[in-house]
A and B are shown apart, each in its own frame.
Chain A
Amino acid sequence: MGETVYTKDHEWLVIVDGVATIGVTEFAQEQLGDVVFVELPDIGALLTEGDEVAVIESVKAAGEINAPINGTVVAVNEILADEPELLNRSPEEGGWMFKVTLDEDYDISELMNKAEYQDYIAVNA
């Protein structure tokens, strides 16, 4: 099991054998409120860091998810289409959003580990 790393946009990534599973954090789901729709990328989509890749719609507003890293989408969590509220219930496990195969020279040195992320939300919450 790879280590979990975090972005400033409140996404988490777990990287195993060059494939990153990506979702949003508990903090993000709390901020979003009741999720009613999740728009996921197409499988095969090529992502460049910073691209809008997914949208999480809550009752009140739409939240955009930007690609945290370069790569190719290889899987999306189909369950979220019928059960978007899973993203509220289990954002860091069952509510994962999509998987990306990373380019060989991927770089996550800018991302935070768990302790750093917790400090980050404590300051920015």
Chain B
Amino acid sequence: MSNASDVKHTKFYDYHVEAGGKMVPFAGYLMPVQYAGGIMQEHLHTRDKAGLFDVSHMGQVVVDGEGAVAALERLVPVDLEALAIGQQTYATFTSEAGGILDDLIITRWSEHCFFLVVNAACKEQDIKHLRKYLGDLEVTYLSGQSLLALQGPKAKDVIGELTPEANELLFMNGFHTVIGGIECYVTRSGYTGEDGFEISVKDENALALADQLLAYDEVQWIGLGARDSLRLEAGLCLYGHDMDVSKSPIEAGLNWSVSRSRREGGSRPGGFLGSGQILKHLADGVAKKRVGFLIEGRAPVREGAEIVDNQGNVVGVVTSGGFAPSLQIPIAMGYVNTEFCAVGTTLDALVRGKNRPMTVVKMPMVPQRYFRG
């Protein structure tokens, strides 16, 4: 247990409290799980207008130096050589055994310089991992940098007024810009399934930037509770729940995150940690896999619930589940034996001794609305 003095605050702490934020410990920080409006209202607001998320607890890291592409490619099964300057990619840090150490977004800032955003709970371990494998490169943790996400269909209208060029960005691209005199790095990305932006800004300018965003009627603070329900509807994994070091990216259903060129028959196959196991999973298939579920009835099925087939055999486990505010029904994701992965398969989750029928569905459960031009 950590004592209260170890708990960190982001620069926005007072803003959260003022907005009625219910502050809870999360990955070493006191973060708002919800505000006065509540999770349901915040979730629907983001799908309808523009939600502002404080994600400053996440780790922002810069890797710089000649050879950065090759060195980083040892840690992620992604084609970084092909990444254009300003372009981003989703990636996993793989383990030697082919599991997932963390998931992250990598942005190419220049020929030899990459900007990484990693999970809050993993950032210390990630930095050690980077330093261990990238000996000759500069690995800089941006400890004085805040991160905001503005997500939802109105996000582009707000950002478009503050920095019009941002609206020309396609999904998973970023650029350095100035908003009301404040330098920031804006990317068109997020964790809600909506069109939206993430803005990295120096701590000393963080509140002034938030003020500019919050000046718009359609912008409202959104807490971690709605962040979780939004990402679940969008079919996005949460590290430590839907994937961890015991799962390969293929078991996690993230086959698309392994670049063609890094696979068997590609131009630079393998060569990343755990590539033997991961390429074997790609070639031979896996015994269990992550899938999405719609639940019958109204009772939510939560993380940890066992999944049984119609004979009552345990065939899987729920890793994320809850009520989907946009659909007004409970949804979940979890791992099941591959024979039960087909869309339309009916299974039961066990909740407090009761069988809750559910059906395997295609993810995302709510369509993603990324801006791809």
B-contacting residues of A (Cβ < 8 Å)? 33-34, 36-37, 39, 55, 57-62, 81, 84
Q: CB within 8 A of B302: which of A39, A62, A81?
A: A62
Per DSSP, chain B at the interface is mixed
Contact status A84-B298, CB under 8 Å? yes
Minimum CB–CB distance from B253 to chain A (whole Å) comes to 25
* B322 interface contact, C-beta 8 A: yes
User: How far, in whole Å, are A84 and B330 apart by their CA atoms in the complex?
Assistant: 14
User: How far, in whole Å, are A60 and B224 apart by their CA atoms in the complex?
Assistant: 10
Contact status A59-B325, CB under 8 Å? yes
Contact status A33-B298, CB under 8 Å? no
Contact with A along B10-26 (1 / 0, CB 8 A): 00000000000000000
* Chain B residues positioned under 8 Å from A36 (CB to CB): 298, 300, 323, 330
Q: CB within 8 A of B38: which of A34, A57, A62, A81?
A: A34
Q: CB within 8 A of A57: which of B41, B43, B228, B300?
A: B300
Contact with A along B330-373 (1 / 0, CB 8 A): 10000000000000000000001000000000000000000000
Minimum CB–CB distance from A63 to chain B (whole Å) comes to 12
Q: CB within 8 A of B229: which of A57, A59, A81?
A: A59
Contact status A37-B300, CB under 8 Å? yes
* Minimal Cβ-Cβ distance residue in B for A85: B40
**16 sampled A-B residue pairs with Cβ under 8 A:** A33-B34, A33-B38, A33-B40, A34-B40, A36-B298, A36-B300, A36-B323, A36-B330, A37-B298, A37-B299, A37-B330, A39-B299, A60-B34, A60-B322, A61-B302, A62-B300
* B250 interface contact, C-beta 8 A: no
Instruction: With A59-B39, A59-B325, A60-B322 as known contacts, state yes or no: A39 contacts B34, CB within 8 Å.
Output: no
* Chain A residues positioned under 8 Å from B43 (CB to CB): 59
Q: Total A-B residue pairs with C-beta atoms closer than 8 Å?
A: 45
Given A33-B38, A33-B225, A55-B352, 15 new contacts (CB under 8 A): A33-B34, A36-B298, A36-B330, A37-B300, A37-B330, A57-B299, A57-B323, A59-B38, A59-B43, A59-B323, A60-B34, A60-B39, A60-B228, A62-B300, A62-B302
Instruction: With A33-B38, A34-B39, A34-B40 as known contacts, state yes or no: A59 contacts B298, CB within 8 Å.
Output: no
Minimum CB–CB distance from B21 to chain A (whole Å) comes to 13
Instruction: With A34-B39, A34-B40 as known contacts, state yes or no: A59 contacts B322, CB within 8 Å.
Output: yes
Interface size class of B (residues with CB under 8 A): 10 to 19
* B33 interface contact, C-beta 8 A: yes
* Minimal Cβ-Cβ distance residue in B for A88: B38
Which of A33, A34, A59, A62 has most B Cβ within 10 Å? A59
* Chain B residues positioned under 8 Å from A37 (CB to CB): 298-300, 323, 330
Instruction: With A39-B352, A60-B322 as known contacts, state yes or no: A33 contacts B39, CB within 8 Å.
Output: yes
* Chain A residues positioned under 8 Å from B322 (CB to CB): 59-60
* Chain B residues positioned under 8 Å from A59 (CB to CB): 38-40, 43, 225, 229, 322-323, 325
Minimum CB–CB distance from A60 to chain B (whole Å) comes to 5
Which of B40, B225, B229, B302 has most A Cβ within 10 Å? B40
* Minimal Cβ-Cβ distance residue in B for A61: B302
User: How far, in whole Å, are A105 and B38 apart by their CA atoms in the complex?
Assistant: 42
* Chain A residues positioned under 8 Å from B38 (CB to CB): 33-34, 59
* Chain B residues positioned under 8 Å from A60 (CB to CB): 33-34, 39, 225, 228, 322
**Segment 31-50 of B: residues with Cβ below 8 Å from A:** 33-34, 38-41, 43
Contact with A along B271-299 (1 / 0, CB 8 A): 00000000000000000000000000011
Contact with A along B305-340 (1 / 0, CB 8 A): 000000000000000001101000010000000000
* Minimal Cβ-Cβ distance residue in A for B297: A37
* Minimal Cβ-Cβ distance residue in B for A82: B298
* Chain A residues positioned under 8 Å from B228 (CB to CB): 60
User: How far, in whole Å, are A60 and B232 apart by their CA atoms in the complex?
Assistant: 12
User: How far, in whole Å, are A4 and B322 apart by their CA atoms in the complex?
Assistant: 34
Which of A34, A58, A81 has most B Cβ within 10 Å? A34
